[in-house]
């Protein structure tokens, strides 16, 4: 892909942080830049009791959404909007999105000719909305497949004829497809090739109302697979605070909701754990400004208009706070923890969480490498998350030592460094070579070879002393898969008082297994082939190089010098003839190359997955140590993950820098804004 991407106002979305499919982004509009993910309160142009300016100033929302169909149908709204613009109509100078009336047509069962798809797009453009929306065809959850197929084709045809009408307005192309993931994928694929700026996922509101969260998750994930990463995704009608964390984990950037007002009309209060009716409460379980200033009894005694307004404000405070909490969770790499906590509010939500985790391969492609400082066990879903899934997958694919005379397995809860709990066995293993003895730890998330004990997330995780059976079943399957990948005639099992000791019975039928009750008994059975002093450090380095970059470790010079931390046992530096090649990144346990290290990686046959090529216009900037901007990336592998250590080349393939990828390879080739690679070392530094 050899091109220099155009700059401009359109497609002005930039990623600043990521956690799985979720991302913190900056989205520029003519009326200001907003931080995503964000929620837009729905504002009625004529009867909103809380005006848009208050929503921003008092409740800290950034953007609002209103309905262009309602505006177009009422003379008093239409005349102001057409003459002065929608911003004047709402008395708001911030970003505004407008809906087209699709949901109103569905909800009120209006005839197909009620709204003209081209006229409504032109109307939104002419009244100066920041983001307009096409008129798509809404599919009810209980609609049969044949009807949904027709709705999708109608929506796509309208999308195609609407794009030329957008002018300078951002235009949102809605993904439809009902509860059929393949139709969602088809819709998303077609829309991805059209000049849209935002992609709502429609048809979600009825699913939410029926607690069909699992169907909503399937619909969103199916669409997300094929939507361009540089276009924000809008989960239409989703705004309940208990679903926001999980919805963001699906990769949604925009949300909207009128629930704050609709629920207040019926004295219903939104909470992060669900919805409660005021008459059910004796206490107000909230610390928002409204609830902190009154009591449940006082609220009940208010006149209807005053009570409705108070509950409306409460609903806004709770929703806004949860949206901020979600953004912080992304920055902390803890969004799934928050989603798991919220999912326990309702069985249907917990089911939806597991549907999300069943699609971990899709999430893994977007999730940065090594960004989570610690992982706390929250339940059986924990070991299904990306860090553990990724570690196991790479281990199975890239562990270099496949054949040995014996395998020592040590059950462990992964609560402390392995060297603290089994120091004598590790010391003995250092005197052997991988072709005689392998050592691995059996943890709640699977197998950890001794050479990879410091790789994230091995010792960044915290598990309880009592492990549930679902977690142990997952660990068992991973242990079996590892054993099937190595060629060893016998296993030495060190029996210990830890939950994972129970996994021994699962492998005894696979390979001859011998149990030992003490470390000294295990050591006596080691098939030692003594090697030169400190050669164990070379085995560790080879394992990390293979795990991290998939390299042929036989090409590593045997005379490299490896400095090990005496306190932790981690690799600190790798040198060759006093030339520094690599340093170890403490949090990830992975290697960061210097320029010399980058040159060595190229000699060792570094896969193209880890090579970024820059446009000639950016080469000199990168040589000087400037960040490699996405706009100037001309070649990157779609398998590259954000957070990986990469080498940067000029168009001819010459090494100019090394650094850490900020975006995935696909994102680098798509985004026009933002940093693609943070440069660590460059030619002219």
Q: Which residues in the chain come in under a pLDDT of 50?
A: 1-3, 7-9
> Which are the contacts of 161, defined by CB distance < 8 A and separation ≥ 6?
117, 118
Topology classification of domain 31-361: TIM Barrel (3.20.20)
pLDDT at position 144: 94
Task: Output the six-digit token pair for 556.
Answer: 């590593």
Distances (CA, A) of 14 to 326, 378, 470, 521, 662: 18, 32, 39, 58, 12
What is the residue-wise DSSP string for 156-216?
A: HHHHHHHGGG-TTSEEE--B--TT-HHHHHHHHHHHHTS--SBEEE-S-HHHHHTT-HHHH
pLDDT at position 9: 45
Cβ atoms of residues 408 and 440 within 8 Å:
yes
pLDDT at position 530: 59
Residue 288: name the closest of 264, 243, 320, 335 by CA: 320
Exactly one of 19, 99, 197, 230 is catalytic; which is it?
99
Cβ atoms of residues 314 and 252 within 8 Å:
no
CATH of 375-524, one of 3.40.50.800, 2.60.40.740, 3.40.190.10, 3.40.50.10630: 3.40.50.10630
Task: Annotate 27-79 with three-state secondary structure.
Answer: EEECCEEEEECEEEEECCCCCCCCCHHHHHHCCCCCCEEEEHHHHHHCHHHHH
pLDDT at position 11: 59
Respond yes or no: is residue 116 known to be catalytic: no
Rounded to two decimals, what is the model's pTM? 0.94
Domain spans, the chain:
1-16+607-685, 31-361, 375-524
pLDDT at position 501: 95
pLDDT at position 534: 60
- The domains spanning 1-16+607-685 and 31-361 adopt the same CATH topology: no
pLDDT at position 532: 53
CATH no. of 1-16+607-685: 2.30.130.10
> Which are the contacts of 620, defined by CB distance < 8 A and separation ≥ 6?
none
User: Could you report the per-residue pLDDT of 188-222, keeping only the tens digit for each?
Assistant: 999 999 999 999 999 999 999 999 999 999 999 99
Alpha helices in 333-372 (DSSP H): 335-343, 347-358, 360-366
User: Could you report the per-residue pLDDT of 505-548, keeping only the tens digit for each?
Assistant: 888 877 899 999 999 999 999 976 655 556 899 999 999 999 99
With vertex at residue 681, the alpha carbon angle to CA 587 and CA 6, rounded to the nearest 5 degrees, is 100
């Amino acid at each position: 892909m050899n091109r220099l991407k155009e700059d401009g106002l359109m497609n002005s979305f930039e990623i600043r942080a990521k956690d799985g499919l979720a991302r913190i982004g900056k989205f520029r509009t003519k009326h200001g830049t907003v931080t995503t993910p964000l929620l837009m309160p729905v504002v009625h142009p004529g009867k909103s009791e809380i005006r848009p300016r208050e929503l921003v100033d008092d409740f800290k929302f950034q953007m609002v959404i209103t309905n262009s169909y309602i505006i177009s149908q009422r003379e008093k709204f239409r005349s102001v909007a057409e003459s002065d613009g929608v911003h004047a109509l709402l008395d708001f100078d911030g970003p505004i999105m407008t809906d087209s009336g699709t949901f109103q047509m569905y909800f009120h069962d209006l005839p197909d000719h009620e709204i003209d798809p081209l006229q409504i797009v032109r109307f939104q453009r002419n009244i100066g909305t920041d983001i307009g929306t096409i008129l798509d065809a809404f599919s009810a959850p209980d609609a049969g497949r044949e009807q949904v197929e027709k709705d999708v084709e109608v929506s796509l045809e309208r999308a195609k004829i609407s794009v030329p009408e957008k002018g300078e307005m951002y235009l949102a192309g809605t993904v439809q497809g009902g509860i059929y993931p393949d139709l969602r994928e088809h819709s998303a694929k077609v829309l991805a090739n059209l000049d849209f700026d935002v992609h709502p996922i429609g048809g979600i509101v009825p699913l939410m109302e029926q607690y069909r969260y699992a169907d909503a998750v399937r619909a969103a994930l199916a669409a997300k697979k094929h939507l361009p990463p540089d276009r924000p995704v809008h989960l239409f009608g989703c705004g309940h605070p208990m679903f926001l964390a999980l919805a963001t984990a699906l990769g949604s950037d925009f949300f909207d909701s009128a629930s704050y007002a609709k629920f207040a009309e019926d004295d219903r209060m939104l909470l992060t754990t669900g919805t409660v009716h005021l008459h059910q409460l004796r206490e107000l379980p909230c610390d928002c400004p409204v609830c902190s200033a009154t009591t449940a009894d006082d609220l009940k005694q208010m006149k209807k208009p005053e009570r409705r307004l108070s509950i409306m404000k409460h609903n806004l405070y709770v929703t806004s706070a949860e949206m901020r909490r979600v953004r912080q969770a992304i920055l902390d790499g803890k969004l799934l923890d928050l989603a798991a906590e919220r999912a326990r509010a309702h069985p249907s939500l917990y089911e939806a969480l597991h549907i999300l985790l069943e699609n971990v391969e899709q999430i893994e492609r977007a999730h940065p490498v090594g960004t989570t400082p610690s992982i706390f066990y929250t339940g059986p879903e924990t070991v299904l998350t990306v860090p553990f899934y990724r570690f196991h997958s790479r281990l199975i694919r890239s562990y270099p030592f496949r054949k040995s005379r014996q395998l020592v397995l040590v059950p462990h809860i992964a609560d402390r460094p392995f060297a603290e709990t089994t120091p004598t066995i590790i010391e003995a293993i250092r005197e052997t070579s991988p072709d005689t003895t392998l050592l691995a730890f059996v943890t709640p998330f699977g197998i950890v070879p001794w050479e990879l004990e410091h790789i994230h997330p091995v010792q960044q995780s915290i598990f309880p002393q009592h492990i549930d059976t679902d977690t142990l079943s997952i660990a068992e399957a991973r242990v079996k898969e590892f054993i099937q990948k190595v060629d060893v005639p016998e296993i030495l099992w060190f029996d210990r008082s830890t939950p994972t000791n129970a996994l021994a019975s699962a492998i005894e039928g696979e390979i001859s297994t011998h149990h030992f009750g003490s470390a000294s008994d295990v050591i006596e059975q080691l098939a030692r082939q003594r090697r030169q002093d400190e050669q164990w450090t070379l085995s560790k380095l080879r394992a990390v190089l293979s795990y991290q970059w998939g390299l042929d470790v036989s090409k590593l010079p045997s005379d490299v010098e490896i400095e090990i931390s005496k306190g932790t046992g981690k690799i600190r530096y790798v040198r060759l003839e006093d030339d520094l090649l690599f340093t170890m990144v403490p949090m990830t346990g992975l290697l960061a190359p210097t320029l010399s290290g980058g040159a060595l990686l190229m000699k060792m046959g570094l896969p193209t997955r880890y090579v970024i090529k820059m446009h000639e216009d950016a080469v000199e900037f990168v040589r000087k140590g400037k960040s490699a901007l996405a706009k100037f990336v001309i070649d990157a592998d779609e398998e590259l993950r954000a957070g990986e250590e990469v080498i940067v080349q000029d168009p001819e393939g010459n090494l100019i820098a090394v650094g850490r990828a900020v975006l995935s390879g696909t994102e680098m080739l798509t985004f026009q804004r933002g940093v693609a690679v943070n440069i660590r070392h460059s030619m002219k530094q």
